[in-house]
Structure 1
Amino acid sequence: MGKMNVTNDIMLGLFAEMVLDEALRKYKEQYLYREIDEALAKGDEQSFFALTAELNTLRSLA
């Protein structure tokens, strides 16, 4: 029965890591959207392009 507990602990740990990774990715995506909106409002083309490139990279990793 000890081996089963270790396996369950490992699986729960992996699941927790996946949930945390997804939460962080969503937070970063929301942050980038806000920053992109702000760059558009300010007319900051350089920031807009840098932020959208970062957002596209983040999306391609998901």
Structure 2
Amino acid sequence: MEKHLLNSPKHLEESMDEILAEQFLTNALLTFRRKQLKVEIDKTLAERNKEKFLRLTEELKSIS
């Protein structure tokens, strides 16, 4: 039976890998959403949709 100690080098390495993977995915999703919002904002400007523009710009500010 193999024991997994919380402070063992193997456990720490796996924890760091999980943290780095999570940070990478979070960053990728935020970058994607920012790009999406900018495209949508451009559309709302062309459509002169003030209400949607304000909502989208607020969302963009909140994730930037």
TM-score, normalised by the number of residues in structure 1: 0.89
Match of 2:56 in 1: 51
TM-score, normalised by the number of residues in structure 2: 0.86
Match of 2:43 among 38, 41, 47: 38
Runs of 4+ in 1 over 6 A off after TM superposition: none
Match of 2:30 among 16, 19, 25: 25
> What is the root-mean-square deviation of aligned Cα atoms in Å?
0.9
In structure 1, distance between residues paired with 2:27 and 2:63: 11
Which structure's residues are more often helix, by fraction? 1
Tell me the alpha carbon deviations over residues 6-26 of structure 1, each in whole angstroms, 9 at most, x when there is no partner. 110000100000000000000
Structure 1 residue 28: deviation in Å?
A: 0.6
What are the ranges of 5 or more consecutive residues in structure 1 without an aligned counterpart? none
% identical aligned pairs: 29
Letter in 2 for 1:57: S
Structure 1 residue 54: deviation in Å?
A: 0.6
What are the ranges of 5 or more consecutive residues in structure 2 without an aligned counterpart? none
